[in-house]
Amino acid sequence: MLLKPFLKLNQLQIIRNGKIVYDEFFREGVNIIRGSNSSGKSTIADFIFFALGGDIHKWKPEAEICDYVVAEVLINDAPITIRRDIQNSSRQPMWIYWGPILKSKENSIEGWEVYPFQRSAKKESFSQVLFRIIGLPEVRGDSDSNITMHQILRLLYIDQMSPVDSLMRVEQFDTQLTRKTIGDLILGIYDDSLYANELDLREKQKELESIKKQHQSVREVLSEAGQEIELSVILKSISETEEQIAKLRGAIEKYNNIEKQHLDSEDLSSIKKLQNEFQAAKFDLSKKENELERLDFAIEDSNQFIINLENRLKSIDNSIITREALGQLELSYCPNCLKSLPKPESENICFLCSQELTQSVEKSQIARMKQELAHQIKESKYLTSKNQQSSERLRRNRAHFKKVGLLIAQES
């Protein structure tokens, strides 16, 4: 019985100077790597850890002289080939080919896609891609960072340097909350809402401590300067000051009304100038309104496009489930010219395009289609976010222009 999510290592190759120095196939079930002391058993385990997404920045001398490692993995029945360069620096990227390792040898560049170790606003990390293909949810870790393949594999691959009573590879700055989350995720008992609440509680506690320290510092400074620190006294002082401000504004308004009754030619010229400025402000406001309307339309159009892409992504999953339930549906007539279709010479030949059919290639293509749709969704959301920022900026500018126009109108 195949349990999903499922990841299996099919083949591992280690390359040096263009030659294969290690090539091994792995079977289902238990695989044992045996050998005498210092023969390289733990080094092979390090290569497996690194190939699947682990982070190693200090290699053993024998491993350091190799160039790169290639691995074919089976993810939920879809064969995928991954490659990583061996460097004495951390956070190496990953190359992904959507097909088996033999097929990847025929395409040295074409068909390969590279993903960084750490995600950015414009590029997904390889952990995000592998999590999506495997079917694992994206999990937010400490400091608003996501759980990575490296952290998942630390629970699966233990090196000789880690203590025997440790369940994970030992690393610095490894919090108890991160370890617990990884265990829950692998065991299938992860609760996103609970974990998010725990993170939020920690952040709120830190924020509360910071505010308490700031409040105490302000009180100490005000006390040393002889300033009032009692809230009731401060509020009373604010109320009295606001009353004085209101009286001054009334006096200013009364004075302005008296001045308007004695306007001369110079005053009329100033009024005309203010009116011209008001018209210019109205024109600028109109331009901002038009640009804001265009951005709102673009944002709505992008949101509809994202919804369409997400529906297509769901449709692919639904089509896979339907096909697994109903099996292969043969067509008797060509959908284009409606003529009867000849029966293929073999069951592994498509009766429409006459191309060879293999279940592994088909699942690899499906995985690639899903990744491409996910990439389009990410790009669209990024552009929509930028448009929303521009829209918010324009709304703030619009409020400013309205305020300026109102002031000019009052002065004129």
Does 315 share its domain with 238?
no
- Say whether both 247 and 152 belong to one domain: no
Residue 401 or 377, more confident: 377
Establish if 212 belongs to a structural domain.
Answer: no
- Same-domain pairing of 304 and 252: no
Statement to judge: residues 313 and 370 lie in one domain: yes
Q: 301 is in which domain, residue-wise? A: 287-411
Q: Which of 137, 154, 173 is the last residue of a domain?
A: 173
Q: How far is CA 72 from CA 16, 110, 250, 339, 362, in A?
A: 18, 17, 81, 42, 16
Token code pair at residue 269: 């010229």
Closest CA to 5 of 194, 114, 135, 116: 135
Are 402 and 361 in a shared domain?
A: yes
Residues facing 251 on adjacent strands:
none
Q: Which residues, 6 or more positions from 16, have their beta carbon under 8 angstroms from its beta carbon?
A: 65, 66, 67
Q: Are residues 318 and 407 in the same domain?
A: yes
The residue count for the chain: 412
Low-confidence winner among 140-149, 164-173, 340-349 (lowest mean pLDDT): 164-173
In tens, the pLDDT along 243-263 reads: 999 888 888 887 777 656 555
Is the confidence at residue 195, as pLDDT, over 80?
Answer: no
Locate 371 and state its tokens.
Answer: 């990744």
Handedness of CA 376, 378, 381, 387 (dihedral sign): negative
Q: Is 90 within the bounds of a domain? A: yes
Between 13 and 248, the more confident residue is 13
Has residue 96 got a pLDDT over 70?
Answer: yes
Return mean pLDDT, the chain.
Answer: 81
Output 43 or 394, whichever has higher pLDDT: 43
**Residue 140 domain-assigned?**
yes
Quick check: is 282 in a domain?
no
User: Do 42 and 114 fall into the same domain?
Assistant: yes
Q: Write out the two tokens for 367.
A: 């995985």
Residue 118 scores a pLDDT above 70: yes
What is the mean pLDDT of the segment spanning 85-93? Answer: 91
296-329: b or e for each residue (b if 16 or more CB lie within 10 Å)?
Answer: eebbeebeeebeebeeebeeeeeeeeeeeeeeee
pLDDT band at 406 (very low <50, low <70, confident <90, very high): low
139 and 257 in a single domain? The answer is no
Could you say which of 155, 173, 191 is where a domain stops? 173
Most confident of 135-139, 258-262, 336-340, 373-377: 373-377
Q: Are 257 and 292 in the same domain?
A: no
- Starting at the earlier edge strand, list the strands of the sheet with 7-16: 19-25, 7-16, 68-75, 78-85, 94-97, 112-115
Q: How many CB atoms lie within 10 A of CB 370?
A: 18
Residues 6+ apart with CB under 8 A from 43: 60, 62, 63
Residue 87 belongs to domain with CATH number:
3.40.50
In a domain, 195, yes or no: no
Same domain, 305 and 238: no
- Is 267 among the domain residues? no
Four-point Cα dihedral 349, 353, 356, 358, nearest 10: -90
Q: Which residues pair with 114 in a beta bridge?
A: 95
Per the structure, the count of domains in the chain is 3
Residue 280: inside a domain: no
Instruction: Read off φ and ψ for residue 97, nearest 5 degrees.
Output: -120, 130
Q: Do 242 and 358 belong together in one domain?
A: no
Element (H, E) at 13: strand 7-16
Whole-angstrom Cα distance, residue 391 to residue 229? 42
The answer to whether residues 246 and 133 belong to one domain is no
Query: Among 46-60, 64-78, 289-303, 314-328, which stretch is predicted with the lowest mean pLDDT?
Result: 314-328
Reduced to 3 DSSP states, what percent helix, strand and coil does the chain have, rounded to the nearest 5? 55, 10, 35
Which pLDDT does position 1 carry in this prediction? Answer: 41
Q: Is residue 81 part of a domain?
A: yes
